[in-house]
């Protein structure tokens, strides 16, 4: 089974296993898709109507089109709370205002955990949260730890889980049992395996780089001191897909070289495959809105691996949802942060 066949089959919804999740700041449903494929029923909340429309068109659960606030009523009947609070406040590519940014969604996420008291919660964010905003990150973890959870974090690279893209993101999990992050795979998926069949067959002339754009890219790469052109290489995974480098013709744009030597920006479907969205998953909105939905998403195949670990944690004999951890002691390590029972 090749990569395309795999994502098209593996991300189909599975038979329900009796666990319910809610995905806060759900976007177009990347993480929800992976959890549905493990048989977990997922509902979402997303303020962007086009992203919510994409979610509702492709997933079995319902996505509420709503801007979450501390006053938003959310059912407490969920076993799992998922979330990707807006990353712009913490992104190296943004202004890194962190807690002071009005897009900061963590107060809402923490409030939801406090009210729902799920068996397990998980959030994803950019690596930048651990650097200039490290103090706020530790504050978030301390608040969540006081609610009675063991908390662990790890930076995962999607390329280690079958996604044809180097994409490092922070994943933080709170639980009351034993959670093991998914082990990395031994095989790496390349750009060629993901989109090789599309490069010369789906040519949109509007995405072909003109001579002036080629010169602009060359000057950008010289100024950035790039040793090699930043075209996508068929024998390697892609660079990290972001909203900026797939939605607009910038110097850093994701681009492929055609067999005739011309270069072009990648298409919606190529970007989707590089993020591990299956071909049956379609996006709503303008082209730019669709690129943004893809660039903001958690790769569904990575989400599937995380969902497997979540199911293993919640179905183990050692799990007891009735036991809260009293008086947590915070221990900070290089890769994990755990709230221990005192």
Query: Which residue in 28, 63, 87, 313 is the catalytic one?
Result: 87
How far is it, in rounded angstroms, from Cα 230 to Cα 144? 41
- Between β-strands 80-83 and 120-125, what pairing exists: parallel, antiparallel or unpaired? parallel
Residue 317 CB partners (closer than 8 Å, separation 6+): none
Residue 108 CB partners (closer than 8 Å, separation 6+): 24, 68, 69, 70, 72, 85
**CB of 51 closer than 8 Å to CB of 92:** no
How far is it, in rounded angstroms, from Cα 15 to Cα 33? 14
Query: What token pair was written down for 7?
Result: 């994502």
Q: Helix crossing, 3-10 with 300-314: angle to 10°?
A: 50
**CB-neighbour burial class of residue 313 (10 A; exposed 0-12, middle 13-18, buried 19+):** buried
**CB of 98 closer than 8 Å to CB of 90:** yes
DSSP state of 62: -
How far is it, in rounded angstroms, from Cα 202 to Cα 213? 20
How far is it, in rounded angstroms, from Cα 257 to Cα 240? 18
Three-state secondary structure of 223-256: HCCCCCCCCCCCCCCECCCCHHHHHCCCCCCCEE
Sign of the C-alpha dihedral, residues 218, 219, 220, 225? positive
**CB of 207 closer than 8 Å to CB of 264:** yes
Q: Is 63 part of the annotated catalytic residue set?
A: no
How far is it, in rounded angstroms, from Cα 19 to Cα 39? 8
Catalytic positions are 87
């Amino acid at each position: 089974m090749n990569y395309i066949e795999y994502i098209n089959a593996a991300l189909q919804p599975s038979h329900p296993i009796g666990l319910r999740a809610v995905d806060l700041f759900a976007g177009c449903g990347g993480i929800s898709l992976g959890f549905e494929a493990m048989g977990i029923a997922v509902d979402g909340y997303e303020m962007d109507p086009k992203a919510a429309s994409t979610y509702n068109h492709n997933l079995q659960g319902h996505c509420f089109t709503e801007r979450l606030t501390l006053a938003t009523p959310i059912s407490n009947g969920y076993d799992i709370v998922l979330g990707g609070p807006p990353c712009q406040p913490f992104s190296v590519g943004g202004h890194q205002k962190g807690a002071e940014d009005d897009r900061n969604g963590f107060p809402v996420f923490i409030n939801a955990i406090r009210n729902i008291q799920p068996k397990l919660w998980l959030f994803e964010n950019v690596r930048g949260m651990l650097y200039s905003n490290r103090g706020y990150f530790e504050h978030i973890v301390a608040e969540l730890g006081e609610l009675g959870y063991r908390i662990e974090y790890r930076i995962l690279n999607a390329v280690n889980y079958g996604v044809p893209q180097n994409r490092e993101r922070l994943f933080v999990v709170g639980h009351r049992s034993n959670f093991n992050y998914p082990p990395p795979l031994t095989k790496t998926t390349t750009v060629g395996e993901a989109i090789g069949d599309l490069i010369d067959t789906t040519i949109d002339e509007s995405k072909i780089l003109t001579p002036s754009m080629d010169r602009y890219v060359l000057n950008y790469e010289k100024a950035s001191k790039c040793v090699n052109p930043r075209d996508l290489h068929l024998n390697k995974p892609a660079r990290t897909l972001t909203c900026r480098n797939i939605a607009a013709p910038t110097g850093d744009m994701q681009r492929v070289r055609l067999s005739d030597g011309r270069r072009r920006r990648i298409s919606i479907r190529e970007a989707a495959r590089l993020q591990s969205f299956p071909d049956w998953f379609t996006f709503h909105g303008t082209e730019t809105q669709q690129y943004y939905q893809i660039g903001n998403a958690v790769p569904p195949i990575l989400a599937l691996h995380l969902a497997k670990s979540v199911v293993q944690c919640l179905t183990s004999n050692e799990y007891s949802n009735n036991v809260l951890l009293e008086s947590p002691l915070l221990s900070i390590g290089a890769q994990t942060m755990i709230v221990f029972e005192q």
